[in-house]
């Protein structure tokens, strides 16, 4: 909220920053209201009408399916970006190969894009969190497999999905050792720096100056890895959101699209899909057959459903965050940071359907993990697994 407001007053040329601030205020207010209302608290505390699942078996099934997905993906890929980097590819070629790995596929292979999002955003982070909390013997294998996959096509921030759930699972557990927490926490900025360097390829970038107005635009060129990271975290989400409003008002007449930006809703309504993300990318950088510009959820909600839709969706997001808070399942609780990060640069419908969080909702509301034995309890106490409360789960 403060960043677009500061950008507006520093470079008083883009009034869409003020629109962005107003939308952000309404979204935050409705999220807060939704979060404070105990609509499903009784259902969360009750074990009635819930399916009891063996989480270790579920996590193992997810990892096996993910391995099959990896084999199919790499067997049918023309190029793997990380291999191309070591062959001297420049940033343009690496960017093209990232898009071609999933987005440029046709026919049955186009399903790989949806499977990728499903596994990378929800299923594998959930499975890894389960395995570390329950001390599965294959937990480090699963983490290494997922991590290597996330860096294989040089998407700078995707590896965070492997580490963030572990950090929060640790913080929610009562484990005393801090080694794993420190290692995971320090790994994030180090790997992010390395991934940024790799994604730049064999060419160097140079900045165009330090003018604040240019900084909040696609015309700015960072002059190194650190400036690239800072720019992408603080500037890119802001000017992508305002550029989305530019395209909405100036190219689409400012009339709510009624869900037409979603492939699923457009299909249900019999409407032609409006590829707004592709249009915004064209507005920023020029046309690209595979690249999209992702914007924050409340801007997408506004351009599709207006102020009412923005308010309703934000309220529901607040309520769903309460589900993460009230569940006794630590693996599910550990996913809420990824949920929030996803909403920061994705549409709400996309988060539910493409990124797998509809599945997470169903797990939150209709399943309950079978209790596990506390391995730190001495056998002499003769305490059974059934007697062990879920809150005594110990991670790592």
Q: Calculate the CA dihedral of residues 195, 198, 204, 207 and round it to 10 degrees.
A: -20
In a domain, 302, yes or no: yes
Bridge partners for 90 per DSSP: 201
- Residue tagged 């499975």 (tokens): 127
In 3D space, the residue among 212, 210, 230, 245 whose CA is nearest the CA of residue 12 turns out to be: 212
Instruction: Give mean pLDDT, residues 101-119.
Output: 87
Higher pLDDT, 85 or 305: 305
What CA–CA distance (Å, rounded) separates 40 from 63?
Answer: 31
Domain coverage including residue 331: 2-193+295-392
DSSP codes, 91-130: HHHHHHHHHHHHTT--GGGGHHHHHHHHIIIIIHHHHHHH
State the pLDDT at residue 20. 92
What CA–CA distance (Å, rounded) separates 146 from 128?
Answer: 9
- Angle of helix 160-172 relative to helix 179-199, nearest 10 degrees, comes to 160
DSSP codes, 217-243: STT---SSHHHHHHHHHHTHHHHHHHH
State the pLDDT at residue 377. 32
Q: Is the pLDDT of residue 394 over 50?
A: no
pLDDT in tens, 337-387: 999 999 988 899 999 988 999 999 999 888 888 876 554 333 434 444 344
**Is there a contact between 221 and 231 (Cβ–Cβ < 8 Å)?**
no
In a domain, 55, yes or no: yes
**Total Cβ atoms within 10 A of residue 1:** 13
State the pLDDT at residue 163. 86
Higher pLDDT, 204 or 264: 264
Instruction: Give mean pLDDT, residues 188-211.
Output: 67
| Whole-number percent of the chain with pLDDT over 90 | 41
pLDDT in tens, 75-97: 998 888 888 888 887 777 887 88
In a domain, 317, yes or no: yes
In a domain, 124, yes or no: yes
Q: Is the pLDDT of residue 246 over 50?
A: yes
In a domain, 202, yes or no: no
Higher pLDDT, 228 or 312: 312
Sign of CA dihedral 288, 101, 113, 53: negative
Angle at 146 between CA 140 and CA 360, to 5 degrees: 100
- Angle of helix 2-10 relative to helix 236-250, nearest 10 degrees, comes to 70
In a domain, 232, yes or no: no
Give this prediction's pTM: 0.84
In a domain, 258, yes or no: no
User: Tokens for 211?
Assistant: 């003018």
Distances (CA, A) of 200 to 196, 229, 250, 285: 6, 12, 33, 17
In a domain, 281, yes or no: no
Higher pLDDT, 124 or 50: 124
Split at pLDDT 50, 70, 90, the class of 171 is confident
**Is there a contact between 17 and 8 (Cβ–Cβ < 8 Å)?**
yes
Number of domains in the chain: 1
State the pLDDT at residue 176. 52
- Residue tagged 């059934």 (tokens): 386
């Amino acid at each position: 909220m403060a960043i677009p407001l500061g950008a507006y007053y520093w470079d008083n040329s883009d009034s869409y920053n003020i629109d962005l601030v107003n939308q952000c205020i309404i979204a935050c207010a409705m999220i807060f209201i939704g979060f404070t209302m105990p609509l499903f608290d009784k259902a969360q505390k009750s074990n009635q009408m819930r399916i009891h699942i063996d989480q270790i078996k579920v996590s193992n099934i997810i990892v096996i399916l993910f391995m099959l997905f990896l084999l199919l993906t790499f067997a049918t890929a023309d190029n793997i970006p990380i291999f191309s980097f070591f062959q001297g590819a420049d940033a343009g070629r690496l960017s093209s190969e990232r898009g071609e790995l999933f987005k440029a596929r046709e026919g049955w292979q186009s399903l790989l894009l949806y499977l990728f999002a499903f596994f990378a955003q929800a299923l594998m982070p959930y499975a890894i969190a389960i395995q570390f909390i329950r001390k599965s013997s294959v937990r480090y294998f699963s983490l290494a497999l997922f991590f290597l996959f996330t860096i294989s096509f040089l998407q700078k921030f995707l590896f965070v999905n492997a580490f963030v759930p572990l950090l929060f699972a640790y913080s929610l557990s009562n484990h005393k050792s801090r080694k794993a927490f420190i290692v995971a926490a320090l790994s994030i900025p180090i790997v992010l720096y390395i991934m940024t360097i790799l994604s730049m390829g064999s060419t160097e970038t140079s900045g165009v100056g330090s003018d604040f107005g240019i900084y909040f635009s696609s015309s700015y060129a960072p002059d190194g890895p650190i400036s690239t990271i800072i720019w992408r975290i603080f500037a890119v989400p802001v000017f992508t959101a305002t550029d989305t409003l530019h395209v909405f008002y100036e190219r689409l007449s400012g009339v709510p699209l009624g869900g037409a930006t979603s492939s699923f809703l457009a299909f249900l309504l019999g409407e032609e899909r409006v590829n707004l993300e592709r249009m915004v990318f064209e507005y920023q950088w020029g046309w690209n057959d595979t690249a999209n510009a992702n914007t924050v959820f409340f801007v997408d909600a506004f351009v599709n459903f207006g102020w009412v839709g923005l308010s309703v969706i934000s309220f529901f997001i607040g309520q769903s965050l309460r589900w993460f808070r009230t569940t006794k399942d630590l693996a599910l609780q550990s996913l809420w940071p990824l949920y929030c990060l996803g909403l920061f640069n994705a549409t709400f419908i996309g988060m539910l359907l493409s990124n797998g969080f509809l599945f997470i909702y169903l797990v939150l509301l209709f399943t309950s993990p079978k209790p596990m034995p506390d391995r730190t309890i001495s056998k002499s106490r003769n305490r059974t697994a059934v007697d062990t409360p879920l809150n005594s789960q110990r991670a790592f």
